[in-house]
Amino acid sequence: MTSSILICILCTYVMLILCVTGVAGDECCKEYTVLSGRKIDAKWCPRYCCYDTIYHDYICCEDESKRALSDHREEFCSKWWSAHLYVPVLVGVAVFGSLVIACSCICCCGMSSGQSSGLNIASKFRK
């Protein structure tokens, strides 16, 4: 019974690791104020935040050699969420799926040890 529970926990852990992965290659240009006093909002870039030497502005680009200095960019910002609305949904589905798998494993472990349901496992520990 103990090995079955450990296998279920391990499977749930592996599923969570596979579902929640990091993002690579994207970054945000930080918000800044231009000389005229106008505030430029932060923006998410799918590749790099770069400095445009002609217009003296921060833009998104594909060329790593034009990348802005580290104090003008960050790896994550709130604008990322608006560009990736599906991520919270996937995380929610992964958590729900993990709970279903964990509950199923507990019920199966309870049944395989001759009990009528997995809820009886808790009654063993109350004695």
pLDDT at 29 over 60: yes
For residues 49 and 76, membership in a common domain is answered with yes
For residues 44 and 71, membership in a common domain is answered with yes
For residues 75 and 29, membership in a common domain is answered with yes
Which residue range forms the structural domain that includes residue 126?
A: 1-22+84-127
For residues 29 and 76, membership in a common domain is answered with yes
Residue 37, token pair as written in the block: 């006093």
End residue of a domain, out of 80, 101, 118: 80
Strands 57-61, 43-45: pairing kind: unpaired
Q: Could you tell me the pTM of the whole model?
A: 0.47
SS3 per-residue string spanning the chain: CHHHHHHHHHHHHHHHHHHCCCCCCCEEECCEECCCCCEECCEEECCEEEEECCCCEEEEECCHHHECCHHHEECCCCHHHHHCCHHHHHHHHHHHHHHHHHHHHHHHHHHHCCCCCCCHHHHHHHC
pLDDT at 75 over 50: yes
Highest mean pLDDT among 28-42, 69-83, 96-110: 28-42
Domain count, the chain: 2
The Cα–Cα gap between 77 and 15 comes to: 26
For residues 73 and 33, membership in a common domain is answered with yes
Question: Which long-range contacts (C-beta less than 8 Å, at least 24 apart) are formed by 86-94?
Answer: 90/19, 91/19, 91/20, 93/19, 94/15, 94/16, 94/19, 94/20
17 band by pLDDT with thresholds 50, 70 and 90: low
For residues 125 and 94, membership in a common domain is answered with yes
For residues 70 and 96, membership in a common domain is answered with no
**Count of all residues that appear for the chain in the document:** 127
For residues 93 and 105, membership in a common domain is answered with yes
**In the chain, what percentage of residues exceed pLDDT 70?**
60
